[in-house]
Structure 1
Amino acid sequence: MLDVVRYVVDNGVKWANLPRDLPPCRRVHAFARRWQVTGLLVELHDRLRDKVREREGCSPDPTAAIVDSQFVRAAANIPRPTSGWNGGKPATGTASGPQPRK
């Protein structure tokens, strides 16, 4: 059953389009759905990831993460004290580029 679930995920096929040499699609889908609801698929994924990391000589827990976000400018009528910061630069509601001097 696990091989069939991996086949569907890897090939991106629909459950109903499984090859004839695999178990019936309704049965496989029922197993996969039950595993997903009970959290077994997440647990299996986490354990396999940890094993791969250990095999490569890394700690099972990552030591760093990359967080990326998109900067969205505030409207011009938003007060400056509440406009925030973006990577150490003031995030104002004005257009990008050099600001005119007052």
Structure 2
Amino acid sequence: MKRKPYSSDLTQAQFKRLEPLLPSAKPGGRPRTVDLYEVLCAIMYVLQGGIAWRNLPHDFPAWQTVYSYFRRFEADGSWEAINRVLVRETRQAAGRDPE
């Protein structure tokens, strides 16, 4: 990471836990050039701060890129899977039934 961290950033350990839930790069064409860690941190920044996508700080990937990944994650069910994992882990950490 080349930028100063934000309070909404994921740790590398958190990202490694969520990475298998993310879709792989599209087959064929150019290889992926954006860092998915930075994309997820940018999504968390927008969601936690309640800001507009266009107001995303310039040290994240372009807001259009981040937004398109967010929409893709919503459409293919990745975002729901991430939410499910995070809710279960949070409930278990609080000593509650994960379901």
Q: Which runs of 4+ in 1 moved over 3 A?
A: none
Q: Measure, in 1, the Cα distance between the counterparts of 2:67 and 2:89.
A: 27
Is residue 94 of structure 2 the alignment partner of residue 52 of structure 1?
A: no
Greater relative contact order, per chain length (Cα 8 Å cut-off, separation 6+): 2
Counterpart of 2:75?
37
Please identify which structure carries the higher helix content. 2
Q: Measure, in 1, the Cα distance between the counterparts of 2:95 and 2:50.
A: 31
Greater C-alpha Rg? 1
**TM-superposed deviation, 1:58:** 1.1
- Counting matched residue pairs gives 61
**Which consecutive residues of structure 2, in runs of 5 or more, have no partner in the other structure?**
1-38
Q: Measure, in 1, the Cα distance between the counterparts of 2:90 and 2:50.
A: 23
Q: Measure, in 1, the Cα distance between the counterparts of 2:93 and 2:55.
A: 35
Is residue 70 of structure 2 the alignment partner of residue 28 of structure 1?
A: no
Q: Measure, in 2, the Cα distance between the counterparts of 1:13 and 1:58.
A: 32
TM-score (normalizing by structure 1): 0.57
- Listed one character per residue, the Cα deviations across residues 71-94 of structure 1 (whole Å, up to 9, x for unaligned) are xxxxxxxxxxxxxxxxxxxxxxxx
Which of 53, 56, 62 matches 1:18?
56
Identity of aligned residues (%): 30
TM-score (normalizing by structure 2): 0.59
